[in-house]
Amino acid sequence: MASISHSSTFPCKTLSVTQPQTQFTSKPATFPTNSVKIVQKAVGKSWVCSRAGEVVRHRPNFRVRAVNDDEGVPEKEEGSAAPVAVAEPEEVEEAKPTEIERLKKALVDSFYGTDRGLKATSETRAEIVELITQLEANNPTPAPTEALTLLNGKWILAYTSFAGLFPLLARGTLPLVKVEEISQTIDSENFTVQNSVQLAGPLATTSFSTNAKFDVQSPKRVLIKFEEGIIGTPQLTDSIEIPENVEFLGQKIDLAPLKSLITPVQETASSVVKTISSQPPVKFSIPNRNAESWLLTTYLDEELRISRGDAGSVFVLIKEGSSLLTP
3-state class of 168 per DSSP?
helix
- Amino acid identity of residue 118, one-letter, is L
**Residue 311 forms part of a structural domain:** yes
Is the Cβ–Cβ distance between 225 and 213 less than 8 Å?
A: yes
Burial code (b: 16+ CB inside 10 Å, e: under 16) for 163-181 equals eebbebbeeeeeebbebee
pLDDT in tens, 89-110: 555 556 778 999 999 999 999 9
CA distance 309 to 289: 17
Per-residue pLDDT band at 23 (split at 50, 70, 90): very low
pLDDT above 90 covers what percent of the chain?
Answer: 41
CA distance 212 to 192: 6
The rounded mean pLDDT for the chain is 74
pLDDT in tens, 224-249: 999 999 988 887 765 556 566 666 55
3-state class of 208 per DSSP?
strand
Per-residue pLDDT band at 5 (split at 50, 70, 90): very low
**Residue 138 forms part of a structural domain:** yes
pLDDT in tens, 163-216: 888 777 775 456 667 889 999 999 999 999 999 999 887 677 889 999 999 999
CB count in 10 Å sphere of residue 157: 21
Please tell me the predicted confidence (pLDDT) of residue 161. 94
Sequential DSSP letters for 253-287: EE-GGGGGGHHHHHHHHHHHHHHHHTSPPEEEEPP
CB count in 10 Å sphere of residue 186: 20
CATH number, domain of 221, equals 2.40.128.280
Angle at 71 between CA 70 and CA 72, to 5 degrees: 120
**Residue 326 forms part of a structural domain:** no
Please tell me the predicted confidence (pLDDT) of residue 270. 60
Q: What is the mean pLDDT of residues 241-264?
A: 61
Number of domains in the chain: 1
| Close Cβ partners of 267 (under 8 Å, ≥ 6 residues apart) | none
Is the Cβ–Cβ distance between 97 and 105 less than 8 Å?
A: yes
pTM listed for this prediction: 0.62
Q: What is the mean pLDDT of residues 132-161?
A: 96
**Residue 57 forms part of a structural domain:** no
Kind and range of the H or E run holding 136: helix 122-137
**Residue 220 forms part of a structural domain:** yes
**Residue 214 forms part of a structural domain:** yes
**Residue 207 forms part of a structural domain:** yes
* 283 pLDDT above the threshold of 80: yes
Q: What is the dihedral of CA 217, 156, 170, 116, to 10 degrees?
A: -90
**Residue 110 forms part of a structural domain:** yes
Sequential DSSP letters for 88-133: PPPPPPPPPPPHHHHHHHHHHHHTTTSTTTTT--HHHHHHHHHHHH
52 HSE (CA, 13 A, CB side): 7
CA distance 112 to 117: 9
User: What length does the chain have?
Assistant: 327
Range of the domain at 190: 99-320
CA distance 134 to 286: 37
- Higher pLDDT residue, 325 or 81? 325
